[in-house]
Amino acid sequence: RRGEMAKSTQLIDNEVFRAFATYTAIVLLKMMLMSLITAYFRITRKAFVNPEDTATFGKGESAKKYLKTDPDVERARRGHLNDLENIVPFVGIGLLYALSGPELSTALLHFRIFTGARILHTFAYLIPLPQPSRGLSWAVGYSVTFSMAYKVLKTAWLL
Amino acid sequence: RRGEMAKSTQLIDNEVFRAFATYTAIVLLKMMLMSLITAYFRITRKAFVNPEDTATFGKGESAKKYLKTDPDVERARRGHLNDLENIVPFVGIGLLYALSGPELSTALLHFRIFTGARILHTFAYLIPLPQPSRGLSWAVGYSVTFSMAYKVLKTAWLL
Amino acid sequence: RRGEMAKSTQLIDNEVFRAFATYTAIVLLKMMLMSLITAYFRITRKAFVNPEDTATFGKGESAKKYLKTDPDVERARRGHLNDLENIVPFVGIGLLYALSGPELSTALLHFRIFTGARILHTFAYLIPLPQPSRGLSWAVGYSVTFSMAYKVLKTAWLL
């Protein structure tokens, strides 16, 4: 029985926490993918910002022309920053939400909608899809985080 | 008795953790508010960065003039980035701090000062207030996070 | 025995969690250091972005010339943003990893390599060192986080 109890106190054995861990890993990996997409555009568009990154293209003036901005690079960077601005609150508030004792089905609903919305947001930003695709997918993810924050504040409130 | 023990091991029943959850939700919601403020300035100043966002203003050259930077938009964006740079360490270090067994009164002091300082920082940035208002409110929040990091390292140190 | 069990359920008494807390505090403090480095370059290069920050240099046109970008300031800012993009996933995924029951030696290997790689990355960015120093140190940290995410998904998977 001791082992049983010890086990039940491990967060990773809690189903809501397992769901949180799964979706958090997925959205953070998706966010990390933005680095690779930015790097891809920097290399294929030959658009760099650090002089040391253009050294392979030669020295002096011949390399200097690769220190430029490119619309695709900037777009990927904006998508990455938008991920940071939205996925950071999801992870922080989502962790507290997962520990606040929600029903598994309710928690899964929150995590699935947020994850789907952020994947859509990335496609809407990178393709790009016409508005309001990007705006709506952003708003859906934002609302999910807001809903979890409400549950956290209702459960934990101690000011 | 088993239920009692099980309950006492739930993080959300711990008062320090409840305080951490409350203040973390507040500062993360405050950070999320920066997105709405940026969107408000983009729409009222008609200053966008993505061509697809100006499609409602017409096509071609007539819409292109709304692809511009605006001082208020840029100011809100800098405030948002500063939040990311400072609230991310607060949430990460604060979680570890809350789990390191501090006195409730000491923990509340840290969380309250940080939250107050970041709210002041936002007002100082957006109004803007003359310096050193923004600098001081930044430094106060920074020091609180540093103090929590010291407690975490003293308690948990295992390199 | 009750006290013993209660103790064993405290995260901060778990060795893997203590190691996670130690390395997380270190990398977040390192990230916070980037704010001070940026401030140092802004002051020594007299390169500011907010008009209210140049008020001490006089009024009107005489202060306006300090509203400029500086290569060293921009480099420190890029290093800071790169930290956010990489240390946020490390902290989020690393927390779940620490709770997924890895061997202490394996966990320490992950945390140590990540922390070393990010410190190298900062030196490679700020000095700057010739490529591929910065690229490689970035890739090593990225791979460590990826490896932890794999363990989290394998252990927690609940979609």
Q: What are phi and psi of C4, to 5 degrees?
A: -60, -45
pLDDT higher than threshold 50 for residue C62:
yes
Nearest chain C CA: its distance from B39 CA (Å): 20
CB contact under 8 Å between C80 and B78, yes or no, is: no
Q: What is the pLDDT of residues A90-127, one digit of tens each?
A: 999 999 999 999 999 999 999 999 999 999 999 999 99
- As a whole number of Å, the end-to-end CA separation of chain B is 37
Question: Could you tell me which residues of chain A have a Cβ less than 8 Å from any Cβ in chain C?
Answer: 2, 5-6, 9-12, 15, 17-19, 21-22, 24-26, 28-29, 31-32, 34-35, 49-50, 52-53, 55-56, 80-81, 84, 87-88, 91, 95
Q: Give me the helices (H) in chain B, please.
A: 2-8, 15-44, 61-64, 71-98, 104-126, 133-156
Confidence band, pLDDT 50/70/90 cuts, at residue C12: confident
Per-10-residue mean pLDDT of chain B, 159 residues long, equals 44 91 98 98 96 85 90 98 98 97 97 98 97 97 98 95
Q: Please give the average per-residue pLDDT across C109-115, as a whole number.
A: 98
pLDDT higher than threshold 50 for residue C11:
yes
How far apart (Å, rounded) are the C-alpha atoms in residues A19 and A105? 10
Nearest to A150 by CA among B92, B21, B38: B21
pTM of the full predicted structure? 0.94
Confidence band, pLDDT 50/70/90 cuts, at residue C56: confident
Q: Where are the beta strands (DSSP E) in chain C?
A: none
Fold classified for B1-158: Four Helix Bundle (Hemerythrin (Met), subunit A) (1.20.120)
| One-letter amino acid of C37 | I
CB contact under 8 Å between B85 and C5, yes or no, is: no
Worst-scoring range by mean pLDDT, A20-24, A26-30, C5-9, C117-121?
A: C5-9
ipTM of the complex: 0.92
Q: Please give the average per-residue pLDDT across C101-119, as a whole number.
A: 97
Give residue A150's pLDDT: 98
Nearest to C102 by CA among C159, C149, C140: C149
Mean pLDDT of the residues in chain A = 92
- Residue from A13, A136, A158 whose CB has the most chain B CBs within 10 Å, to mutate: A158
Q: Please give the average per-residue pLDDT across A129-144, as a whole number.
A: 97
CB contact under 8 Å between B25 and A101, yes or no, is: no
Contact A152, B25 (CB under 8 A): yes
Worst-scoring range by mean pLDDT, A47-51, B2-6, C38-42, C72-76?
A: B2-6
Count of other CB atoms within 10 angstroms of residue C144: 25
Residue ranges per domain, chain C?
1-158
Please state, in angstroms and as integers, the Cα–Cα distance from residue A4 to each residue in A1, A133, C100, C157, following that order: 5, 48, 17, 21
CB contact under 8 Å between C22 and B131, yes or no, is: no
Confidence band, pLDDT 50/70/90 cuts, at residue A58: confident
CB contact under 8 Å between A11 and C129, yes or no, is: no
Contact C93, C145 (CB under 8 A): yes
Q: Please give the average per-residue pLDDT across A20-36, as a whole number.
A: 98
Chains that touch A (3 or more CB pairs under 8 A): B, C
